[in-house]
Amino acid sequence: MQTSVNPATGEKIRDYPLHSAADVQAAIARAHECFLHWKTVSTDERARLLLRVAEILLTRKDGYARLIAREMGKPLKEAIAEVEKCAGCARYFAENGALFLADSAIATEYRKSYVAFLPLGIIFGIMPWNFPFWQVFRFALPSLMAGNIGLLKHSSNTPGCALAIESIFREAGLPEGAFQALLLPSDRIEEAIGHPRVAAITLTGSTPAGRSVAALAGKHLKKTVLELGGSDAYLILPDADVSLAVKTCAASRLLNCGQSCISAKRLIVAGNIRERFEQELLDIFRKQRTGDPLDAETTVGPMARADLRNALHEQVDRSIAAGARCLTGGVIPAGKGAFYPPTILTDVKKGMSAYEEELFGPVAVIIPAKDEEDAIAIANDTPFGLGGAIFTADFAHGEAIARGRVESGSCFVNMMVRSDVRLPFGGIRDSGYGRELSAFGIREFVNVKSIVVA
């Protein structure tokens, strides 16, 4: 049984029965039968159905947003934006998918030679709770547009979202079996990964989860894309617009109650601007309203689960015990729900939990740097490599640092890191491999096939 619990109250929403081993086998059989047909459907028809998905999402965005807010605690305004982003993703691949999948001619001495991008089959997505619609749609939409089939194992605390997404694709007119949600515990994922009809696996989650799934996929020789944890460094250089940097860092760190892989997790402040940076950040954090995610005035909702909140608090406590200063927050509030206050830790140094580990919650970590070179060294002193940002008045210099000095899958200058359907998204090192979104993402799960006519 999977139980959906409201993290703002701790009250049970609903129990959902798990799928049995026979259910999994039947779902994969349906998916394979669907693939035999779906791969022959024209890109024009696939695009038409994806546009219908976008229409359903926008028409019912308020209801879906309430479901997201109740199951994982995201403030309603953010949940609506998430649903809208999914609709935008559907439109993007409907409008651009055929171009991304078009045959690519290669000049050779042969009569004809080209590369075709052909579907692989069933793509098994293992998705997290923090963006329960967006994470699913960003793997499912390009996969379906490419002629593949989607099979979903969602997080155990968002089963309602999983089944709602399945119903959206069904209502949009996609054939039976094109997208199915399986309610499974994590210890049963090999039932799908090991099935010979499953072609590839994509996972968004923690680094330990990525290692486990990669090992299983390797055992069965399955292609994988892994988008894992991150500890994104935001470098605030001495010539930066401090107010812009503070507002951007605060927005990034508090979005989704800090539960984002690309949140501003390490704020590396160089030179003599740290005191001003800390004060302005403190002013913003103290103005936040923590509470019921369904309340329009709430800016920071609860964390998704109480166990996650408690683990975060332990990291904060260990960091303070090791010498970090807590400027605000850092205390679990009394009452129901998995709430944690917006918290700022400063004077964070190497060896502390807040320096070495990913903090997945509303905790800003300020790390002092002597100068620009020291800031860059600190930014790269991590096993992660998902995103990063540079704040400087010299745009060209910031671009040079972003391009060649910060080791990450993406790096932004004078703005927060975000996923954009037009750009490839993913990381390096312990943040995973492979790319989602854009032309690069849709081509991750295709057979890049060479065709030669002599």
Q: Active-site residue numbers?
A: 227, 261
Q: Identify whether the C-beta of residue 316 lies closer than 8 Å to the C-beta of residue 354.
A: yes
E strand residue ranges, 92-222:
104-105, 112-119, 122-126, 149-153, 179-182, 198-204
Instruction: Please name the residues in contact with 32: beta carbons below 8 A apart, sequence gap of 6 or more.
Output: 121, 122, 149, 177, 197
- Residue 285 tokens read as 């954090």
- Residue 394 tokens read as 């010299």
- Residue 131 tokens read as 């963006």
Distances (CA, A) of 73 to 39, 80, 127, 291, 339: 38, 13, 17, 10, 10
CA distance 442 to 142: 5
| 104-105 vs 112-119, strand pairing mode | antiparallel
Q: Identify whether the C-beta of residue 9 lies closer than 8 Å to the C-beta of residue 293.
A: no
Vertex 230, ends 327 and 206: CA angle to 5°? 115
CA distance 364 to 266: 7
Query: What sign results for the dihedral spanned by CA atoms 117, 403, 423, 200?
Result: positive
CA distance 168 to 133: 11
CA distance 53 to 366: 42
How many CB atoms sit inside 10 A of residue 358's CB? 24
CA distance 349 to 368: 8
Q: Percent helix, strand, coil in the chain (nearest 5)?
A: 45, 20, 35
Distances (CA, A) of 28 to 18, 148, 150, 198, 407: 16, 13, 10, 8, 39
CA distance 389 to 131: 22
CA distance 100 to 303: 38
Q: 3-class SS at 128?
A: coil
Instruction: Please name the residues in contact with 449: beta carbons below 8 A apart, sequence gap of 6 or more.
Output: 115, 116, 117, 118
Q: Identify whether the C-beta of residue 10 lies closer than 8 Å to the C-beta of residue 133.
A: no
Q: Identify whether the C-beta of residue 228 lies closer than 8 Å to the C-beta of residue 431.
A: yes
